[in-house]
A and B are shown apart, each in its own frame.
Chain A
Amino acid sequence: MKTIATTLLSAVLASGSLWGADAAVTALKVNSDLSTVSYASDLWKKATFSSVLLYPQTTIRMNDKKANAMNAHNKAKKAMVAALYNQENIVFMIRWPDSTVNVQKGMSTTSYADGFAVQFAGNFSDPNALPYIGMGSEGRPVVLHLQKVAKDIYEPNGNGDVAHQVNRNQTDLFGKELAAFDKKVASLGSSDYERSFVSEGFRSMTEIKDGSNHSYARIHYLQNKKSWEGTLSRALKDDYVNLNAGAIPVAFAVWDGEKMGRDGLKHLSAWVSVKLQGMQGGEALIKALDTKLTGDPKAGKAAVAANGCVGCHQIEDSDAPNLMGPSLRNVGGYSTAGYLKESLLKPSAAIVPGYNRNAHSAYPWYTLDKGVRVSTMTDFSWLDEKTQNDIVAYLQTLKAEVE
């Protein structure tokens, strides 16, 4: 693609310092078509890369014994993120370290693919009441775009048609037809594994299959840097999200196939503020996502101990794993201060669904009151504000070190 340098607004205007806090990522405005931008585009030479930390998901433990052992001591990963946008589209590039290339192999039951996902909030008008970072929460939907490294996938019509069947044992009778069929598969079979989903919390994730997601993702391995480079382009506005704002919350996740990564076995960021350069507004969001609460973590730790939080939550690595509630081991890594405070004061505002309720039936994370989920956690709004802020400040320190 031809570089259109003149269309890039001057980086001088990009600073968020006008508002006292810098957005984590700044999206530069360009005039070029962004609908199918990949890692190969020259446009990225102009973009500014900011670091985003990705923490191992430890809120719930998956039931895969081998994978759990492999991922028990994961550290955080440092990714570099840049963004561009124009009238219609916004495109992100994320580059993250991964020393191995992993693909879902053709005939294997135990191989897993590397990949990444970018998550957007359905509604971010109140920056202190964003959807739960782990795939949204009830009434607070998120849209996710997932790109995994893939070899050719056997889908005869490239449409996920898994019902199409041919009996390969009948080669004598149907040799010609089979050859024709294989040719058709080769031409129509998809070699890409790109999916878009809408989700309101664990297990509710549903694929958007009608093409209304208007996204384009690509992934590419940098052998010399031992890193993946992924790009995602999507419409600024579709049926699910409207990103025409001064700043938007975005979250990133990456999977490492070498460590059997898939689903919850991943690294994820907190909601990250992305400033759309030149667009008005967004100050409140940037402030909410990027300023730290001025609490005293030491006093917070004491308050957490005094209030018996460890009865239900695994808090530090040294605490025993607990099925009663979300593990907080990395909560400081992938949660915002706003979310932590909201959960402390109004536990039912954004419910973490937790495990399948049948998997650990003695430990429900919520009860149902006329179909409405009510958290089983006690409401701590009776604590004085200083203690609340101290607790949040302490929780923000709970995170793995960066590798």
Chain B
Amino acid sequence: MSKRQLAMVMDLNKCIGCQTCTVACKTQWTNRNGREYMYWNNVETYPGTGYPKNWMDLGGGFDAAGDLQPGVIPNLEADYGVPWDYNYDALAGGASFEPNVEPTWGPNWDEDEGDGVFPQDNYFFYLPRICNHCTNPGCLSACPRDAIFKREEDGVVLVDLDRCQGYRYCIAGCPYKKIYFNPKISKSEKCILCFPRVEQGLPPACAQQCVGRIRFVGFLDDEESQVYKLVHKYKVALGLRSDYGTQPNVYYVPPTESPVKFDANGKIIEGSDRIPVEELEKLFGPEVHDAIATLKAEMKKRKETGESELMDLLIAYQHADMFRLDNTYYQNVAKEKGLNPLAPVDTRYIAGKYTKTAHRINFTHDAAAAAGGHH
């Protein structure tokens, strides 16, 4: 466990599946150099196959005894989908509109299909997913090269690309399949929680760009943060598939608001709820019942009295309140460690623990200066 933990809360009642987060992430990190197929952030329709296909059936995570479970590495063509593009340039010359790869599968192939019978009881909701920056990461435990580390300062889980040898056991070990193999460089890559932004006091791109303002970001030990209030004070934000045993640090406010069902004659079934609570229990555990009860009660309270701190939080008035990041904290960490530049990094191997002194690369400010400049 790290000293502090950054966390994100996503309010599923407000996610409209617009994929702005997905695009924000993709343009920032994954539209190039072997990452084209990766979605560090994706929004999938639930129920649905998800991305990669049927990720919940692919193993990984821990059993009740704490043993890492074997998993399966998804296939690019069958499970992720080969990214395709169109011949826009050739259209001006009169060519017909053609994809460069025959699309056979991709993320959101079954978008908005959901489950149930229209119009009686069909339903779906959107499930945005990023790396959960777990407290007990399956990817980290699976790595035979100690190439994955969890930063002490904020619990962000990162891959040390210098050590990574592209074995892909991390992908088998992650129950969320949120770590990916980059075939161009033969190394694993994943969501970095936009740590270069976070260190400057900015939220991750996906959270900043979210038009529904569904994402809250902050430190879990910061009692003033809305993340803390949603997770610990009101306990309305829950981890996804906590039964995998990785202790995820992305939390979800379960979708409580859905239209009523119709009977066979098209009549409203009073008091009915389209989203089966069993599905929510499967995703968020038995705590979901209390979370739903709290949300309903606070909503009622707000309607009746006009007062509810929880509802005010979930309305998400100000970005400044939703994102409580502290770049002074990071600057102090860097100063304490004598690090320059800012980014606190994995120090287990960087000092060349197993290589000879002469071969060490030193990233401390003084050593860089002594060596006559940058390493």
Contact = CB atoms under 8 A, between A and B. Distances in A.
Interface string A92-120: 00000000000011111110000000000
A78 B166 CA distance: 27
Interface string A162-193: 10111111011000000000000000000000
Interface string B29-41: 0011110010000
- Give 4 nearest A-B pairs by CB, closest first: A359-B68, A359-B141, A154-B184, A65-B70
A361 interface: yes
Contacts of B358: 210, 212, 239
Interface string B1-33: 000000000000000000000000000000111
Contact of A205 (B69, B145, B168, B173): B145
Given A64-B169, A153-B184, 8 more contacts: A105-B183, A109-B168, A166-B32, A203-B146, A210-B359, A356-B140, A356-B142, A356-B143
Contact of A63 (B65, B75, B173, B187): B173
Interface string A316-332: 00000001000000000
A9 interface: no
Interface of A: 62-66, 68, 104-110, 141, 153-155, 160, 162, 164-169, 171-172, 198-200, 202-210, 212, 239-240, 262-264, 323, 355-356, 358-362
B184 A203 contact: no
B105 interface: no
B278 to A, nearest CB: 28
A362 B67 contact: yes
B356 interface: yes
22 contacts: A62-B144, A63-B68, A63-B169, A64-B70, A64-B72, A64-B169, A65-B71, A68-B70, A109-B168, A110-B73, A153-B184, A154-B184, A162-B187, A171-B89, A172-B89, A206-B349, A239-B356, A263-B167, A264-B144, A356-B140, A359-B67, A359-B141
Contacts of A155: 185
Contacts of A62: 70, 144, 169
* Max count, chain A CB within 10 A of own CB: residue among B37, B73, B140: B73
Contacts of B140: 356, 358
B352 interface: yes
A168 B26 CA distance: 13
Contact of B136 (A64, A164, A204, A358): A358
Interface of B: 31-34, 37, 59-60, 65-76, 80, 82, 89, 136, 140-146, 161-163, 165-169, 171-173, 180-181, 183-187, 349, 352-356, 358-359
Contacts of A262: 165-168
Contacts of B32: 165-169
Contacts of B356: 212, 239-240
A187 to B, nearest CB: 17
Contact of A198 (B66, B72, B82, B355): B355
Contact of A65 (B72, B143, B146, B352): B72
A205 B353 CA distance: 10
Contacts of B185: 153-155, 162
A355 B66 CA distance: 13
A218 B70 CA distance: 34
B354 A200 contact: yes
A109 B59 contact: no
Contacts of A141: 354
Contact of B172 (A63, A198, A208): A63
Contacts of B66: 360-362
A333 to B, nearest CB: 21
A63 B183 contact: no
Contacts of A199: 354
Contact of B74 (A104, A109, A239, A359): A109
Given A64-B169, A263-B167, A356-B142, A104 B183 contact: yes
Contacts of B71: 63-65
A350 B99 CA distance: 57
A204 B355 CA distance: 10
